Amino acid sequence: MGSSLLGRPGAVGETTAVHYGNPLGEQKKLASGDAVVDLGDHDVITLSGPDRLVWLNSISSQDFLGLPPAHTVESLILDPNGHVEHRFLAVDDGSALWLLVEPGTSEALVAWLLKMRFRMQVEIEVVSAQWSVLAAIGQHPTPASSPINSAGSSPVLWHDPWPNIQPGAVGYGPEPHPGEGLSLVYWLHPRELLAPESYPEWAGSAALDALLVRSARPTLHGEVDEKLLPHEVDWIRTAIHLEKGCYRGQETVAKVHNLGHPPRRVVLLHLDGSGGELPEPGSDVTLGDKKVGHITRAVRHFEWGPLALALVKRVTDTDAELQVAGPDGPIASTQDVLVPQDAGATRREAIRQKRSGG
C-alpha cells in the first residue's frame, strides 16, 4: 500500500518516499533530530499470550526472560548452521510483544513462528495494515495531533540499541564506535491518520539509510546473504546473548566466538568522490587483481561524502587501499576496520594466557 506522504511535493518513491527532492538537506535535518521518516513499508507483528516471552526466548538469539515493559531488545532467528535468517526489534507493553521487522519479511517470519509454536499459548498477528512505522533520531518528536492506539495509551516505541553493547554480549568493533550517539527511535502512528501535516518536517528513507551506513548498522536487506554469521557484522553486540540457554544456531555462534574467527568481516569504505555514480550492492571489492569481497550498501553522506559497507575476507590487509567496481570504472577506497581480523577466539586467548602464567 502506498503512503499518503507520496502526495507531498517532490516526493520520490513507490510505497514510501525515498526523498522529497533534497536528499542531503533531509539527511542533515534528520541527523539533528529535526525530521521524521515514514517507514510505512516496514512490518509490525504482535505476539500475545502468557507464554510469549519464554517461547521467544527458546527460539531466538536474545534473552527475553524477565524483559521489562517498554525496554527494546534486538533479536535474530538463525538457521541450524548459525546463519542469519530473520531479524527484529522487540518491545513488550505488558500484555503483548511488538516486533518491528524489515519490509517484506513478515510473511516468512510468521510462517516460521507458527511452525515453532507447538502447544505454547501464543497468538501471532500482523498489524501492519493498522499502523505506520515512523522513525527519528533522538527523542520521539511531538506530533501535530497526538496519535493513540486502540487501548488509548501512548504509541509503541522501539529504541534501537545499536551500537551499545547489551547485557550478555560483546562488541568487536572500535571504541568509540562510528554509530555512537545514533539514538534511533521508531514508533507507531495510525495508518489512516498519517498525513503530511502530522509532523512539521519529513525526510526520506534514503536519509535514514545514509546515517545507518555511517553508523555501520547491519540490516537484513543490506548485509544478510545466505551465509552471513552475526559475528561478521558485529551483531553480537546488540542481538546475541552469549550466556542464555540453547536455541537454533547457538552452537555455531559459540564456536566461532570462543574457538575460531568469522570468515568475513564488515568494513566501512570511504569512496573516492571524484566519480559521479555510487557502486551498486553486490559490486566487487578487489585488492590488486583478487576479489576480496562485495559491497552491501553505498550512500552519499551529507558530511562524509560517498561511503559504503562491504563484506570482505577476514585476512584482507586492514591497511590496504581497496578497489570497488563502479558504474564508470574502479573506485579507490580506504577502509575503516569495524570487525578486526582476530575477532572471536576468546577462549583460545584465555587458554594461552593460562598456560603462560598470565
- Show the 3-state SS of 211-246: HHHHCCCCCHHHHCCCCCCHHHHCCHHHHCCCCCCC
Assess whether 154 and 102 both reside in one domain. yes
User: Is residue 208 domain-shared with residue 113, that is, in the same domain?
Assistant: yes
Tell me: do 192 and 62 sit in the same domain: yes
* Same-domain pairing of 42 and 179: yes
pLDDT of 3-16, one tens digit each? 889 999 999 999 99
Same domain for 195 and 81? yes
Largest interatomic CA distance in the chain: 69
Residue 142 has, within 13 A of its CA and on its CB side, a CA count of 1
Give the per-residue pLDDT at 155. Answer: 64
Q: How confident is the model at residue 1 (pLDDT cuts 50, 70, 90)?
A: low
User: Is the previous residue joined to 327 through a cis bond, with omega within 30 degrees of 0?
Assistant: no
pLDDT at 346 over 70: no
Closest CA to 266 of 305, 300, 320, 316: 316
On whether both 190 and 298 belong to a single domain, the answer is no
For position 132, which CATH number holds? 3.30.1360.120
Q: What share of the chain is helix, strand, coil (3-state, %, to 5)?
A: 20, 30, 50
The whole domain housing 98 covers 4-223
In a domain, 167, yes or no: yes
Q: pLDDT exceeding 90 applies to what percent of the chain? A: 83
Computed over every residue of the chain, the mean pLDDT equals: 91
Looking at the structure, tell me whether residues 212 and 288 fall in a common domain: no
Instruction: Say if 229 falls within a structural domain.
Output: no
For residue 298, give the CATH number of its domain: 2.40.30.110
52 with 184, same domain: the answer is yes
Q: Looking at the structure, do residues 219 and 273 belong to the same domain, yes or no?
A: no
Handedness of CA 102, 107, 111, 114 (dihedral sign): positive
The pLDDT value given to residue 276 = 78
Instruction: Give the integer Cα–Cα distance in Å for 119 and 81.
Output: 26
81 by Cβ neighbours in 10 Å (0-12 / 13-18 / 19+) ranks as exposed
Asked which of 59-68, 268-277, 345-354 is least confident by mean pLDDT, the reply is 345-354
Angle at 142 between CA 137 and CA 148, to 5 degrees: 110
Question: Given 192, 223, 254, which residue is the final one in a domain?
Answer: 223
Number of domains into which the chain is organized: 2
Does pLDDT of 327 surpass 60? yes
Burial, 356: exposed, middle or buried (Cβ in 10 Å; 0-12, 13-18, 19+)? exposed
pTM for this structure?
0.93
Are 297 and 219 in a shared domain?
no
For the stretch 271-294, pLDDT in tens is 997 667 899 999 999 999 999 999
pLDDT at 148 over 60: no
> Tell me: the pLDDT tens digits for 72-121?
999 999 999 999 999 999 999 999 999 999 999 999 999 999 999 998 99
Q: What is the mean pLDDT of residues 134-141?
A: 89
- Last-in-domain residue among 164, 192, 223: 223
Q: Reply yes or no on whether the pLDDT at 2 is more than 90.
A: no
